[in-house]
Amino acid sequence: MKNILARAEKLGCKIPRIKSEEIDKKLAPVLRLIEDVGIKVDVKSLKRLSEKLKVKSEKLRKEIQKNAGEEFNVASPTQLAKILFTKMKLPTGELKRTKSGFSTGASELEKLRGGNPIIGKILEYRELSKLVSTYLEPLPKIVDENFRLHTHFGTDTRTGRLTSANPNLQNIPIKGDFGPEIRRAFIAEKNCKLISADYSQIELRVVACLSGDKAMVEAFSSGVDIHSRTASELFRVPIEKITNDQRRLAKTVNFGVIYGISPYGLSQTLGIARESAAEYIFRYFAVHGGIKKYCEEQITQAKKLGYVETLFGFQRKLPEINSADRIKSESAQRMAINTPVQGTAAEILKLALIRLADQMQVLNQKSKIKSQNGGVKIILTVHDEVIVEAPVKDAESVAKIMKETMENVVKLSVPTEVEVGIGDNWDETKKV
DNA sequence: ACAATGGTCC
DNA sequence: ACTCGGACCATTGTA
Is residue A103 one of the residues assigned to a domain?
yes
Mean predicted confidence (pLDDT) in A61-74: 96
Arithmetic mean of pLDDT, A380-387: 98
What backbone torsions phi and psi does residue A135 show, to the nearest 5 degrees? Answer: -120, -55
Task: For residue range A311-345, list pLDDT tens digits in order.
Answer: 999 999 999 999 999 999 999 999 999 999 999 99
Give me the pLDDT at residue A366, please.
80
**Angle at which helices A289-305 and A326-365 cross, to 10°:** 100
Which protein residue lies nearest to nucleotide C3, measured between its Cα and the C1' atom? A265
Our measurement of CA A76 to C1' B6, in angstroms, reads: 10
The residue-averaged pLDDT of A12-28 equals 95
Cβ-count burial A399-415 (b if 16+ within 10 Å, e if not): bebbbebbbebbebbbe
Query: Helices (DSSP H) in A223-317: which residue ranges?
Result: 226-235, 244-259, 263-270, 274-287, 289-305
A167 upstream amide cis, omega within 30 of 0 = yes
- Same domain membership, residue A164 and residue A30: yes
Write out which nucleotides of chain B lie closer than 7 A to a protein Cβ: 4-10
Boundary of a domain, candidates A95, A111, A139:
A139
Q: What is residue A189's DSSP assignment?
A: P
pLDDT(A1) > 90 = no
| A118 inside domain | yes
Residue A267 CA distance to nucleotide C2 C1' (Å): 11
Q: What is the pLDDT of residues A196-255, one digit of tens each?
A: 999 999 999 999 999 999 999 999 999 999 999 999 999 999 999 999 999 999 999 999
- CATH assignment of the domain containing A115: 1.20.1060.10
- For residue A363, what is the domain's CATH number? 3.30.70.370
Overall average pLDDT of the A146-150 stretch:
98
- A270 vs A218, which has greater pLDDT? A218
Boundary-marking domain end, from A113, A139, A165: A139
Residue nearest to nucleotide B5 (CA to C1'): A77
A21 and A153 part of one domain = yes
A136, A52 Cβ separation under 8 angstroms: no
CB A274 within 8 A of CB A263: yes
What three-state secondary structure class fits A77?
helix
**C12 C1' – A243 CA distance, angstroms?**
43
Query: CA at A264, C1' at C1: how many angstroms apart?
Result: 12
What single letter denotes the amino acid at residue A347? Answer: E
Same domain, A103 and A172: no
| Average pLDDT rounded to a whole number, residues A372-381 | 89
Strands A163-165 and A307-309: unpaired
Give 3-state DSSP helix, strand, coil % of chain A, rounded to 5: 60, 10, 30
Question: Are residues A73 and A86 both part of a single domain?
Answer: yes
Residue at A325 is within a domain: no
Instruction: Tell me the mean pLDDT in the region A62-74.
Output: 96
Å from the A266 CA to the C10 C1': 28
Q: How confident is the model at residue A294 (pLDDT cuts 50, 70, 90)?
A: very high
For the CA atoms of A345, A350, A355, A358, what is the dihedral angle to 10 degrees? Answer: 170
> What DSSP letter does each residue of A230-251 carry, written as one string?
HHHHHHT--GGG--HHHHHHHH
pLDDT at A367 (0 to 100): 64
When pLDDT is cut at 50, 70 and 90, the band that residue A372 belongs to is low
Same domain for A194 and A63: no
Residue A100 has pLDDT above 90, yes or no: no
Lowest average pLDDT, out of A60-74, A321-335, A370-384, goes to: A370-384
Residue A371 reports pLDDT greater than 80: no
Which residues have a Cβ under 8 Å from the Cβ of A175 and sit 6 or more positions away? none
Residue that finishes a domain, picked among A139, A162, A191: A139
Does the pLDDT value for residue A54 go beyond 80?
Answer: yes
- A375 in a structural domain: yes
> Across residues A265-293, what is the average pLDDT?
92
Tell whether A196 and A55 lie within a shared domain: no
Nearest nucleotide, CA A337 to C1':
C5
- Average pLDDT, integer, range A144-158: 97
Give, for A378, the enclosing helix (H) or strand (E).
strand A377-381
Nucleotide nearest to A330 (CA to C1'): C3
A120 and A169 in a single domain? The answer is no
The answer to whether A264 CB sits below 7 Å from nucleic acid chain C is yes
- Nearest nucleotide to A257 (CA to C1') is C4
- A65 and A26 together in one domain: no
Which nucleotide has the least CA–C1' distance to A133? C10
The predicted pLDDT at position A388 comes to 98
Strand C close to A170 by CB, under 7 A: yes
Sign of the CA dihedral with A104 first, then A105, A108, and A111 last: positive
Burial of A343: CB neighbours in 10 Å, binned 0-12, 13-18, 19+: buried
Instruction: Name the closest residue (CA) to the C1' of nucleotide C11.
Output: A75
**CB closer than 7 A to strand B: which residues?**
A 77, 81, 98-100, 103-107, 109, 123, 126-127, 130-131, 134, 170-176, 179, 382-385
| Average pLDDT value over all residues in chain A | 95
Say how many domains are in chain A: 2
Instruction: Calculate the angstrom distance between C1' of B8 and CA of A169.
Output: 10
Distance in Å, residue A205 CA to nucleotide B9 C1': 21
A75 CB and strand C closer than 7 A: yes
User: A177, exposed or middle or buried, with CB in 10 Å at 0-12, 13-18, 19+?
Assistant: exposed
Q: Name the residue range of residue A71's domain.
A: 44-139
Query: Using H for helix, E for strand and C for coil, what is the string for A317-357?
Result: ECHHHHCCCHHHHHHHHHHHHHHHHHHHHHHHHHHHHHHHH
Question: In the structure, how far is the CA atom of residue A157 from the C1' atom of nucleotide B1, in angstroms?
Answer: 25
> Residue A187: is its pLDDT beyond 80?
yes
Q: Which residue is nearest nucleotide B6, judged by alpha carbon to C1' distance?
A: A105
**One domain for residues A81 and A48:** yes
Q: Are residues A38 and A48 both part of a single domain?
A: no
**Quick one: pLDDT at residue A368?**
62
Would you say residue A360 has pLDDT above 70?
A: yes
Confidence (pLDDT) at A77: 95
Question: Is the same domain home to A129 and A161?
Answer: no
A231 vs A237, A239, A286, A288, CA distance in Å? 8, 8, 14, 13
Closest protein residue to B9 (Cα–C1'): A171
pLDDT of residue A268: 83
pLDDT (mean) for A105-110: 93
CA distances from residue A372 to A287, A364, A366, A393 in whole angstroms, order as listed: 54, 10, 12, 10
Q: Are A130 and A138 spatial neighbours (Cβ–Cβ below 8 Å)?
A: no
